[in-house]
Structure 1
Amino acid sequence: MASESVKVVVRCRPMNQRERELNCRLVVTVDSARGQCFIQNPGAADQPPKQFTFDGAYYMDHFTEQIYNEIAYPLVEGVTEGYNGTIFAYGQTGSGKSFTMQGLPDPACQRGIIPRAFEHVFESVQCAENTKFLVRASYLEIYNEDVRDLLGTDAKQKLEVGWVRPWPG
């Protein structure tokens, strides 16, 4: 079933203040209907842009609210039904992971996936009768091979990663 598979989605974040002050040019275009992203090499305007296809593609004018409703909501709904769910935000520094996951407090349509997911889970828990819930969430950062728990008491503390070897035989 398609809703039970890994989906890869890309989001082109808006330019930040620094990029606007530096008069940076846009080199990315998105065809959301086809889930495609095009990147033009600014030094080779005569060449066609590189084309990439994803399960979903969102451009700068898409709000986090829409991304949550289309991508994360079904996943979180499954979590409220007892299934495990993971959202893995990957990208280089400054690519927009925090912008999408944490979001902005204002405007409300740009609240991040994390606060929306927490609200969704706890509303579901509150509405359920005669049911007990155990809610666990982790928010980890992996950077330069260091792992940190961003929900822990000390977000700068590095976590030890243990590897389990498969049973021989």
Structure 2
Amino acid sequence: MTADERRPRTGKQESVRVIVRCRPLSQVEIEQGHQSPNRALTRSLYSGEKAKICFSIVSMYPDRGLVELRNPKDLHEPSKDFTFDAIYNESSKQLDLYDETFRDLVDSVLNGFNGTIFAYGQTGTGKTYTMEGKPSVPEERGVIYNCFEHIFQHIAQSRNQQYLVRASYLEIYQVGFYSLLKNSRIVKNLIEDLRDLLSKDD
């Protein structure tokens, strides 16, 4: 499948797109002795050693945008299938993810459309790595870095136009907004904000 074929449609054609990315074992998990399921099972079968196994309950098919999810309590139970706009497995690269999934969205923003990139998932699933990455390592720079590089390259190449770029850096956690630039605890309480909205409707 080519990059163009797996690239989601632009923001002008679709309101919301859902992209799934599955992370590999973390360094901490590797140091604790966990191994990828296939390697651990093979090693146990042929050497008689008892390896720590992270059971894989997810199978990903990027060419079809398909995720198969298995019940960890009963691996023999039939899997449940889910389809998404794009799928990225454990070996996916930061720049490939940006070029194939987000570049068109940022281009549409530069042409006057609104756009949002929203990372969602439980703690430890790789949101920070996907969004921030490691700025000091070019191939591991995340979405935020690549967005800014894209925007400022566009500005540098533009003629007879002025741009104003503003940035805020927020984290949504439980019921609050946290400003990561100002290092403040809570900007707004989501529950109080919702109550205010409902009371105005009454």
**Distance (whole Å) between structure 2 residues aligned to residue 135 and residue 106 of structure 1:** 23
> Mind listing any 5+ residue stretches in structure 1 that lack a counterpart?
none
> Mind listing any 5+ residue stretches in structure 2 that lack a counterpart?
1-8, 35-53
Structure 1 residue 153: Cα displacement: 2.5
Structure 1 residue 52: Cα displacement: 1.3
Cα deviation, 1:109-168, whole Å, max 9, x if unaligned, reads 321000000000011111111101111233321111110122x222x4210255675987
**Match in the other structure for 1:13:** 23
Residue 109 of structure 2 aligns with an amino acid whose one-letter code is: V
Aligned length: 165
RMSD, matched Cα:
2.1
**Mapping for residues 47-86 of structure 1, pairs under 5 Å:** 47-86=77-116
Any idea what SS the aligned residue of 2:106 has?
helix
Residue 159 of structure 1 aligns with an amino acid whose one-letter code is: V
Residue 9 of structure 1 aligns with an amino acid whose one-letter code is: I
**Match in the other structure for 2:187:** 159
TM-score normalized by structure 2? Answer: 0.73
**Distance (whole Å) between structure 1 residues aligned to residue 74 and residue 67 of structure 2:** 18
Structure 1 residue 14: Cα displacement: 1.4
Cα deviation, 1:3-55, whole Å, max 9, x if unaligned, reads 22210011001110222225223322210011111222333121222221111
**Mapping for residues 2-151 of structure 1, pairs under 5 Å:** 2-3=9-10, 4=12, 5=14, 6-20=16-30, 21-23=32-34, 24-105=54-135, 107-150=137-180
Any idea what SS the aligned residue of 1:72 has?
helix
**Distance (whole Å) between structure 1 residues aligned to residue 152 and residue 21 of structure 2:** 27
